[in-house]
Structure 1
Amino acid sequence: MTLGTYNRHQATKKKQAALAAAFPQGIRCQKCLEYGHWSYECKGKRKILVRPSRTQVLKKNLKDKEEGSC
Structure 2
Amino acid sequence: MEQNVIDVLETIRPMLQQDGGDVQFVNIDQEGTVQVKLQGACGHCPGAAMTLKALIEKRLKQEVPEITRVVAV
Could you tell me the TM-score, scaled by structure 1's length? 0.29
Greater Rg over alpha carbons, structure: 1
Q: Which has the higher strand share?
A: 2
More helix by share: 1
**Which of structures 1 and 2 has the larger relative contact order (alpha carbons within 8 angstroms, sep 6+)?**
2
Query: Normalising to structure 2: TM-score of the pair?
Result: 0.28
